[in-house]
Chains A and B, each alone.
Chain A
Amino acid sequence: MRKSRIILFFLAFLVWTLLGWPVDFQHLLVGILIACLVAFITGDMFVKRPHVFKSLKRYLWFLYYIPVFIWECIKANFDVAYRVGHPDLPIKPGIVKVKTDLKSDTALTFLANSITLTPGTMSVDVDSENGFLYVHWISVQDQDVEKATRIIVKRFEDILKKVFE
């Protein structure tokens, strides 16, 4: 409870400092007051498990996750440009069901966001109890759960498991 408030205080203070970038004394003073207020009011709504912020390994895996994500993003954009510019609109859409092992809310959110920004897929709904995701796929290659999982989810799941679980 107290740890999560301290982490939230530092995050809010960082965002405040970046928003008023040329650092001066008055800005920082008001920033400390406002970050205290925010951390006091919202409490542990934002940070549920403060112990994950401690280990250095997670930050390194997160640094590895960023270039993978950006590369997939760029590929997705060229894919969209190809499909939209083609005269016949080569699409074969459908909603498929994929399985995931991730449990925590943050990891599921990041997985859904990554799926939305990568080539040809967009997450429609998350069933977090059974660990299923419903994914809209612009060119369905396989309707089977296992094979679709291997194509869509496996790119990110291993990295995200090391970062957030």
Chain B
Amino acid sequence: MNEIIGLFFITVGLFFDFFGCLGLVRLPDVYNRLQASTKSVTLGTCSILFGLFLFKGFTAAGIKALLGILFLILTAPVAAHALSRSAHKMGVGLCKESVCDEYAKEKK
């Protein structure tokens, strides 16, 4: 039974991973790509790791998978934050559909 639920979680994770990477290709500028891909790939990979935990139970690999989930949720947003800030300071503009940019006003 655990294995069936684990397979379900892995399938959901693959689905989200796929949409995150599709967003990396389709969306128009750095910030949108970063946003879509960080969210989807983080939760997708967490879901895959949880599926692994359900397969393995409380063994070495299962506990490491839980630690991996914790680590991923703590670090992936920090990496996204650093990348977006450095992209803005580097001078990468927003795409032409954008409505407003308060951060550029603040820098002047």
Q: Which residues of A contact B (CB under 8 A)?
A: 15, 18-22, 73-74, 76-77, 80-81, 83-85, 89, 91-97, 109, 112-113, 116-117, 120-125, 134, 136, 138, 140, 143
A19 to chain B: which residues have CB within 8 Å? 63-64, 67
- Separation of A74 and B44 alpha carbons in the complex (Å): 10
Kindly supply a per-residue 1/0 record for chain B positions 4-32, scoring 1 wherever the CB is within 8 Å of any chain A CB and 0 otherwise.
00000000000110011011001111011
A136 to chain B: which residues have CB within 8 Å? 31, 35, 84
- Pair B32/A80 contact, Cβ less than 8 Å: no
Which chain B residue has the least Cβ–Cβ distance from A97?
B102
Kindly supply a per-residue 1/0 record for chain B positions 75-108, scoring 1 wherever the CB is within 8 Å of any chain A CB and 0 otherwise.
0011011001100100000110111111110100
29 A/B residue pairs, CB under 8 Å, sorted by A: A19-B67, A22-B59, A73-B43, A76-B43, A77-B39, A80-B20, A80-B36, A81-B16, A84-B23, A84-B26, A84-B27, A85-B22, A91-B97, A93-B98, A94-B101, A95-B101, A95-B102, A95-B104, A97-B106, A113-B73, A116-B38, A116-B39, A116-B77, A117-B77, A121-B35, A122-B38, A122-B80, A124-B85, A136-B31
- Separation of A1 and B22 alpha carbons in the complex (Å): 49
Q: Which residues of B contact A (CB under 8 A)?
A: 15-16, 19-20, 22-23, 26-29, 31-32, 34-36, 38-40, 42-44, 58-60, 63-64, 66-67, 73-74, 77-78, 80-81, 84-85, 88, 94-95, 97-104, 106
A83 to chain B: which residues have CB within 8 Å? 23, 36
B84 to chain A: which residues have CB within 8 Å? 122, 124, 136
- Pair B103/A125 contact, Cβ less than 8 Å: yes
- Pair B19/A15 contact, Cβ less than 8 Å: no
Cβ distance A41 to chain B, nearest Cβ, rounded Å:
21
Which of A22, A116, A140 has the largest count of B CB atoms less than 10 A from its CB? A116
- Separation of A117 and B37 alpha carbons in the complex (Å): 11
Which chain B residue has the least Cβ–Cβ distance from A96?
B102
Partner of A122, one of B22, B35, B63, B66: B35
- Pair A93/B31 contact, Cβ less than 8 Å: yes
Which chain B residue has the least Cβ–Cβ distance from A115?
B77
Cβ distance B54 to chain A, nearest Cβ, rounded Å:
16
